[in-house]
């Protein structure tokens, strides 16, 4: 289930959309496998009596547990965009965290030996936002995610500098040259003030009109 793109801001690009690592639902998978194996054993061995009903109830409970855990897995998103880090989780009741990239101070990741072998770990984001320090568990390849966040932070800063530079260039650009009628009016003012003779004025005026 992908992260809804309608939740993105205008001009915001989706960079990463990750669900928690499959290890998150391993306990429910293991419990379901054990109960299934026990039920198969009961059928093959011809068990009779209340134990069969107990196995059926336990099997149903484990199926429900697995279903809930799977839904939690596919409805949990760790999202990186060109502007922010987003975390969303919950099936009915929702909770989430949003961290603007410019407010992030540091990113840490940790992996146990077995987590490194499986390709998962925990990520901790220290920010100046209201979220403070946010911890995210069972992130896929946390070292690569950490690196990608730093890349997007740098890109975000570069875009800010580009916008500032464009604003400076707009305000410091050279004023447009006066139009030909404006130049003729200036020449007429110089003629009236005695700085140009009527002949010089007419010559300059003809030259300007020839450019039109």
| Domains of the chain from N-terminus onward | 5-156 (2.30.29.30), 180-210 (no CATH)
The tens digit of pLDDT for each residue in 96-134 reads 889 999 999 999 999 999 999 999 999 999 988 776 888
pLDDT at 181: 75
User: Collapsing DSSP states into helix, strand and coil, what is residue 121?
Assistant: strand
The tens digit of pLDDT for each residue in 200-211 reads 777 777 776 676
**Listed range (7-11, 48-52, 64-68, 129-133) with the worst mean pLDDT:** 129-133
User: Collapsing DSSP states into helix, strand and coil, what is residue 22?
Assistant: helix
pLDDT at 6: 82
Contacts 24+ apart (CB under 8 A), 116-122: 118/21, 118/23, 119/21, 120/21, 120/23
Residue 117 buriedness (CB in 10 A; 0-12 / 13-18 / 19+)? exposed
């Amino acid at each position: 289930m992908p992260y809804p793109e309608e939740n993105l801001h205008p001009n915001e690009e989706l960079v990463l959309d990750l669900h928690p690592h499959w290890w998150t639902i391993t306990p429910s998978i293991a419990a379901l496998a054990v109960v299934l194996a026990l039920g198969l054993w009961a059928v093959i061995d011809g068990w009779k009596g209340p134990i069969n009903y107990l196995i059926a109830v336990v099997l149903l409970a484990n199926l429900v547990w697995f279903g809930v855990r799977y839904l939690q897995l596919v409805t949990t998103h760790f999202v990186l965009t060109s502007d922010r880090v987003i975390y969303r989780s919950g099936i009915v009741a929702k909770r989430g965290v949003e961290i603007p990239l410019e407010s992030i101070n540091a990113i840490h990741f940790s992996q146990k030996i077995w987590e490194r072998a499986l390709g998962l770990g925990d990520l901790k984001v220290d920010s100046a936002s209201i979220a403070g320090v946010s911890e995210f568990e069972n992130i896929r390849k946390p070292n690569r995610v950490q690196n990608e966040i730093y890349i997007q932070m740098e890109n975000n800063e570069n875009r800010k500098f580009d916008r500032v530079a464009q604003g400076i260039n707009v305000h410091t650009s050279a004023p447009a040259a006066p139009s030909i009628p404006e130049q003729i009016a200036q020449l007429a003012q110089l003629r009236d003030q005695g700085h140009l003779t009527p002949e010089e004025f007419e010559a300059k005026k003809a030259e300007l009109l020839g450019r039109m």
